[in-house]
Chains A and B, each alone.
Chain A
């Protein structure tokens, strides 16, 4: 069985691969996302589908070309369209004549026999303890990757030599990719964080802080968002991510009872969104609103919402965010991504937004100083 999984930032290609190869599968990763991936997806997917569906479809086509025969995809039960991605992709790939098996990981509903077969295929006759072990290694890779990326977002705007942070991060990620023990992962993580702290930084620099919110795939996949986190870093902006794969994994598989890195009690993000959007609208709609409200309270200068074109939950969030932004006097920039998004247009909009945040911050300082004197 030659399995493949869709690309998702560094997470799928490192943690996902680790999980599957520890279960004894031969993993064929799709090539990194390129223009060709996008073109393939756009060509075969329905026109108004959201961008993630198209790119992931492109991933699958490219992986099948490389010889994969089993696709692993995650599913769900709505109301966001994401839950139906796998089914539409399966139909399209079948109609294109590819021979493959698709394993959809989701909370079982109805067809239990199919689910059991999937689980058995995935488990690959491994014992339960080695299954747990593989899961633990993959999970600690996820945690390490997210922590390093988060740290890089803090250091990058402060670095003296442009590109230093990204270089160290890349080294760390490839070390994590090549190891297979939890202790080692932990050691590498510490080592890289130490390296980060040794980077020469500009002194006394007051930075603009921005919260990055929005749809999960667009926020985490650098090819789709044109490397927005790095771009902002080089503009001297400290970015904090509002999306993380950890709560997403637990919610997709309804593992909330495990409480892995995620509190079960009323989520503070939901609570913050409540006055504006009391109802969960699927996807990241409500968390997007909640994160914007929280960011305004925690001293951020602004928020950037990234949205794939026609995304249903994020459009609700965008509409509601207009009001949030007005009420809290907190700038929010909504960036919509599709196959037409050009890099220069994006650069211009980001620069303009950051300039606005800077002048706003400066004004605030002036008023504060005037009040003090």
Chain B
């Protein structure tokens, strides 16, 4: 059966699970084709083919599906329902393959494993093994591929966590007094929080990460916080959050607030249901830490580069000015 072309749209959960999917599918001998980074054409295709009420990230996903569909034998669109106890994905992920099938025509067949660990038939392992059977007859090889893919995925996640150098955060404790004496030689620590498909999609967020890095800012993301730290911070909530992706955002926001980094930018997308709720959670919590600047950027298909640049500059100016003021008055 070799060299089956399987397409993976580079949107939504691609930014969470791609290494796992790719390693698994490729070691079974399939050729994995991704739609590539988001472009203006992809965005336009998505906006045209989705209903107007749907959230912006799903429109982007539609665009990626449209740009892939004529180049591949299969489209890989898993239905992620539940990967940990007591938490789900957003309803739109639960119905993603159905939505795609309902509104786009002339699609190649979909590979749509359901991953819902509450039932053993749809556990991570069993769903992947079922996908493997579509590609290969060698069940031993399928097992092997799955375990190897899973192992390397865990290593990948860990390497992300290690990027958060503990020193950065510790230095910051004495920041407010020391920083300005050596004239801002220490970079600012700014956390970019939000769904990974916003934070890492440079087209959607208009290159925010590289722009910040260019101004010598230390960019922190939720992936850099250790899972146990996130879980520990979440215990503080009066009621647990029941969305897997939001848990990570809220937990890491609390973590960064407690470490008193210089600022947090919460990236949200227009019409995102989860963001509307957790935005309020983070905002209320941030009021308890007046030294940490907090702002929220909303992205949609009309977001203009100049607008975001202005807001970023204003946000950074505000932090720097405050630091200068504080160091002059202490």
Q: Give the interface of A toward B (CB within 8 A).
A: 46-50, 75, 77-81, 83-84, 86-88, 90-92, 95, 104, 109-110, 276-283, 285, 307, 309-313, 315-316, 318-320, 322-324, 336
Return the chain B residue nearest A110 by Cβ.
B240
Given A49-B277, A310-B276, A312-B273, answer yes or no on A84-B239 (Cβ-Cβ < 8 Å). Answer: yes
Q: Chain A residues with Cβ under 8 A from B87's Cβ? A: 78
Q: Is the CB of A319 within 8 A of B102?
A: yes
Q: How far is the CB of A85 from chain B (nearest CB, A)?
A: 9
Cβ of A81 and Cβ of B277 under 8 Å apart? yes
The distance in angstroms between the C-alpha atoms of A60 and B55, with both chains bound, is 29
Residues of A within 8 A of B89 (CB): 79
What chain A residues lie within 8 Å of B114 (beta carbons)? 279
Q: Is the CB of B273 within 8 A of A310?
A: yes
Which residues of chain B are within 8 angstroms of A322 by Cβ–Cβ distance? 51, 102-103
By a CB distance below 8 angstroms, the chain A residues around B167 are none
B window 180-229: CB within 8 A of A: none
**Interface residues in chain B, defined as those with a beta carbon under 8 Å from any beta carbon in chain A:** 50-51, 53-55, 79, 81, 86-92, 94-95, 98-99, 101-103, 114, 238-243, 270-277, 279-281, 284
Q: Roughly how many angstroms separate A56 CA and B276 CA in the complex, as a whole number?
A: 16
CA distance A75 to B272 in the complex (A): 20
Contacts A49-B277, A281-B92, A319-B99 supplied; 20 other A-B pairs, CB < 8 Å: A46-B276, A46-B279, A48-B272, A48-B276, A75-B239, A78-B242, A88-B280, A90-B238, A91-B284, A110-B240, A276-B102, A281-B94, A282-B91, A285-B95, A307-B53, A316-B94, A319-B51, A319-B54, A320-B98, A322-B103
Minimum distance in angstroms from B301 CB to a CB of chain A = 16
- Tell me the smallest distance from the CB of A34 to a CB of chain B, in Å: 24
A-B contact pairs, 16 of them (CB 8 A): A46-B280, A48-B273, A50-B276, A77-B242, A79-B90, A104-B239, A110-B240, A279-B95, A281-B91, A310-B271, A310-B276, A319-B98, A319-B99, A319-B103, A320-B95, A320-B102
A312-B276 in contact (CB<8A): no
Give the interface centre of B92, B114, B272, B273 by most chain A CB atoms within 10 Å. B273
B-chain residues with CB within 8 Å of residue A109 when the two chains form the complex: 86, 240
* Chain B minimum-CB-distance residue to A324: B102
Q: How close is B251's CB to chain A, nearest CB, in angstroms?
A: 16
CA distance A78 to B55 in the complex (A): 18
State the CA gap A353–B164 with chains docked (Å): 57
Q: How far is the CA of A181 from the CA of B280 in the complex (A)?
A: 44
Residue in A81, A281, A285, A336 with the greatest tally of chain B CB atoms within 10 Å: A281
Number of A-B residue pairs with CB-CB distance less than 8 Å in the complex they form: 124
Inter-chain CA distance A281–B97, complex, in Å, is 12
Name which residue of chain A comes closest to B276, CB basis.
A48
Q: For A47, what are the chain B residues with a Cβ–Cβ distance below 8 Å?
A: 276
Give the shortest distance, in Å, between B326 (CB) and chain A (any CB). Answer: 26
Provided the pairs A78-B242, A78-B243, A310-B276 are in contact, do residues A316 and B99 lie with their beta carbons within 8 angstroms? yes
Selected contact of A336 from candidates B53, B88, B91, CB within 8 Å: B53
Q: Across the interface, name the chain B residue whose C-beta is closest to A279.
A: B94
Which residues of B are found within 8 Å of A91, using beta-carbon distances? Answer: 280-281, 284
B contact face: mostly helix, strand, loop, or mixed: mixed
A78 CA / B280 CA spacing, docked (Å):
17
Closest CB pairs A-B (n = 3): A323-B102, A78-B242, A48-B276
Partner of A282, one of B79, B94, B280, B281: B94
Contact yes or no, A316 B91, CB < 8 A: yes
In the complex the two chains form, is B92's CB within 8 Å of A316's CB?
yes
Interface centre among A86, A91, A311, by most B CB within 10 Å?
A91
A318 pairs with B95, CB closer than 8 A = no
Most buried by A among B87, B89, B91, B99: B91
Q: B91, A283: Cβ atoms under 8 Å?
A: yes
Q: Which residue of A lies closest to B99 (CB)?
A: A319
Closest to A309 in B: B53
Partner of B95, one of A49, A277, A336: A277
Q: Which residue of B lies closest to A320 (CB)?
A: B102
Q: Is the CB of A79 within 8 A of B95?
A: no
Contacts of B238 in A (CB 8 A): 87, 90
Give the CA-CA distance A311 to B81 in the complex, in Å: 18
Closest residue of chain B to A48 (Cβ to Cβ) is B276
Q: In the complex, which residue of chain A has the Cβ closest to the Cβ of B270? A: A48
- B276 pairs with A280, CB closer than 8 A: no
A264 to chain B, nearest CB (A): 18
Query: Closest B-chain residue to A85, C-beta based?
Result: B277
Looking at the complex, which one of A87, A312, A320 makes contact with B90 (CB distance below 8 Å)?
A312
- Give every chain B residue within 8 A of A307 (Cβ-Cβ): 53
**Complex interface: chain B residues within 8 A of A87 (CB):** 238-239
Report B-chain residues with C-beta under 8 Å of the C-beta of A281.
91-92, 94-95
Closest beta carbon of chain A to B87's beta carbon, Å: 8
A346 to B328 CA separation, bound complex (whole angstroms): 60
B175 CB to closest chain A CB, in angstroms? 28
Residues of A within 8 A of B94 (CB): 79, 279-282, 316
**Residues of A with C-beta under 8 A to B102:** 276, 319-320, 322-324
Given the known A-B contacts A77-B242, A79-B89, A283-B91, are A50 and B273 also in contact in the complex, defined by CB atoms under 8 Å?
A: yes
Given contacts A315-B53, A315-B54, contact A320 B277 (CB under 8 A): no
| Contact between chains at B242 and A316 (CB < 8 Å) | no
> Please, which residues of chain A bring their CB within 8 A of the CB of B281?
88, 91
A312 to B95, CA, bound (A): 10
Determine the residue in chain A with the shortest Cβ distance to B81: A279
